Structure 1
């Protein structure tokens, strides 16, 4: 009786690979901390914002003189008032040396009423830190619904604006300024003291603050889109990017390494890979210049 022949398998187990990907211009990558800043349109100084299309052009500017404006407990003296007339709405602008702030209004019997629809603002560049802090607090109060009181043509207007997202934005900016003045004071020269003069992005400054405060490892989630190349299902991916800073006394850059917590699943047939809210771990290390 013949003995059964042995059967050999030609199937081999695919070796899983770790792909280290330097972040370049053709790679889209954001982690959740970065998304927090970008979603608030906080990138660099100077700070400006509008919630209506840049295609909207005003038809007329109407000067309304100057007056004192009270916002909560704070009084702004000699504020210039102007009305911007657009096709379908009007904006009332408060203008000082530190900022321009305009919001949609209606005017009845010389009394203004806010419509809380459209707004735009711009903060002046290169404000010193005390003035900048004062403006951040002012705008936080504005968007938190503080009473805005002023006189126009001997009539008193009292109105308010409520915008939780904008209030949070200026709370975040106040926190960033406080960190800049405390945590980073040791690496700043006299010329670099003003927060509003910094050329780094708000996110890059937050990363530097993380490193200086000892937070060199943290959990996050990321959105990304990058070329597939030789990456296959089951492989692991790690992204690496380096942040450089303009501070003279800082002798190093910060290298950020983002590692996906899970291996890649089905990649489909596209030439690129897209990741949405994928869990990741992030580490920071100093790299000497």
Structure 2
């Protein structure tokens, strides 16, 4: 009889523990930080939305002098850029050579020695003009991919000539990703947009949000990934399960719905500590996309 009572007591305890576990559905709020791996792919490359600009040195660095060098044609790989304005930006500890057209500004570390320009592959800065039409934007993305893949940058100005190339795998991947986003936009998303919304560079949504819309339109409404998150603990306990819910809105006139994203952790929470917040790193999750009427 004692054994039966002990067994029964253990079962009751197990039932109580099971019943204490809860599933918490957490709408995304300002107090929370959440990124899934697809989103991190864009944010880690500093790709948020248009306009596109980047520098790999501090904004506190101020140039001391700008030296105009004139206008000339520049060959990048097999592509020729006409009427490129050349300028040198002199900083305290380095110099940048800038190539400027109507579509972009691109500056990188360079030195002039014996009338020959040499690249130093240290500092760079670029900015792509806003509101370019899609063919021109596609051309710029391809150009930047070629530059960062090490294509020769050739020009001659007065008695000086260039002997330049830059290799940067991360930046090359960035513009490969942008080219892919533009292609997806033109093939899948642009069909639902008005004429004024056709230009990829004029859109206000983030690149990640456009990727989510592409996923939904192409039928990929459920996928696996992982998340980083930080959020208030509230009444959440170790062993509970968590779902995050957020809505992504799109301002497109012909799109009658937004996308609701439900991110479900694939495992219950482990030890969450005694603090007021919970932090998750690379936690496996499943992600569901649903259309909701505006």
TM-score bracket relative to the smaller structure: over 0.9
Identify the residue that residue 201 of structure 1 maps to in structure 2: 206
Structure-to-structure mapping, 1:92-103, within 5 angstroms: 92-103=97-108
Give 1:185 shift: 2.4
Q: 111, 116, 121: which one pairs with 1:116?
A: 121
CA contact (8 A) 1:110 1:153 kept: no
Structure-to-structure mapping, 1:34-49, within 5 angstroms: 34-49=39-54
Q: 132, 136, 154: which one pairs with 2:137?
A: 132
Distance in structure 1 (CA, Å) of the matches to 2:191 and 2:128: 27
Identify the residue that residue 167 of structure 1 maps to in structure 2: 172
Distance in structure 2 (CA, Å) of the matches to 1:25 and 1:114: 44
User: What is the aligned-residue RMSD (CA, Å)?
Assistant: 1.4
Distance in structure 2 (CA, Å) of the matches to 1:245 and 1:268: 38
Q: 79, 94, 110: which one pairs with 1:74?
A: 79
State the number of aligned residues.
287
Q: 16, 23, 26: which one pairs with 2:21?
A: 16
Identify the residue that residue 154 of structure 2 maps to in structure 1: 149
Distance in structure 2 (CA, Å) of the matches to 1:186 and 1:124: 24
CA contact (8 A) 1:255 1:284 kept: yes
CA contact (8 A) 1:93 1:103 kept: yes
Deviates more, 1:13-22 or 1:49-58: 13-22
Gaps of 5+ in 1: none
Report the secondary structure of 1:33's partner residue.
helix
User: Could you say which structure has the higher helix fraction?
Assistant: 2
Identify the residue that residue 262 of structure 1 maps to in structure 2: 267
Q: TM-score, normalised by structure 1?
A: 0.97
Gaps of 5+ in 2: none
CA contact (8 A) 1:111 1:152 kept: no
Deviations 1:57-113 (A, max 9, x none): 000000000111000000001100000000000000000000000000111122110
